[in-house]
Structure 1
Amino acid sequence: MSVSKNRTAVIETGKGTIKFELYEDLAPVTTANFIELAGRNFYDGLNFHRVEPGFVIQGGCPLGNGMGGSDKKIQLEVSPNLKHGDAGAVAMARSSDPNSASSQFYITLGPA
């Protein structure tokens, strides 16, 4: 049995509970931002504003329409050990600017 040193995010929704591991060693800036926002209840009461069955769900927008974010932008982090091609991958949503992520995140539901 292996024990992970990473923390787990838990999101309670009206459709059930979502849990995912935060790879703090591979994406320290991204995970620290997510943990900080969750710690100050930023995500409480927000909905998944984008739902594309079999592809992706996206949340973390305080406006509820995909146009809002937190007051801080973070740099793009890329790790060859983190893949986004299968269901269950979690990453920060961003605009065409690679350093535009703030609070919105997505979870893949199927192959990208």
Structure 2
Amino acid sequence: MLLISCPWCGPRDETEYHYGGQAHVAYPHSPADLDDRQWAEYVFYRDNTKGPFAERWMHSTGCRRWFNVLRDTVTNEVLAAYRIGEPRPEPQQAAAHAAAQAVAHAGGER
């Protein structure tokens, strides 16, 4: 099970969240100008990255806010959680931050 840290509520079990797909997918600037192929690409096609991947999550049983999570798809490790509108953290920085949070969280449970 994942431990995801909501930017507003703190670390919670993944069962409190709802997955929302790939993060940082920009809405088309001129939607009326898109043909069927372009709409299909926007609606259905997403990256299938091996390694760090930015996802959207919603804290459905908590604050009910959407935010982004950087998760490693190989190890399933949550590297960072950040608010929508904030830039995606670099994987190296995110991994160091996640390790520090895990140590802090483990120390608080003892």
Same fold (TM over 0.5): no
Given the two structures, how large is their TM-score scaled by the length of structure 1?
0.25
**Pair member with larger Rg:** 2
Given the two structures, how large is their TM-score scaled by the length of structure 2?
0.26
More helix by share: 2
More strand by share: 2
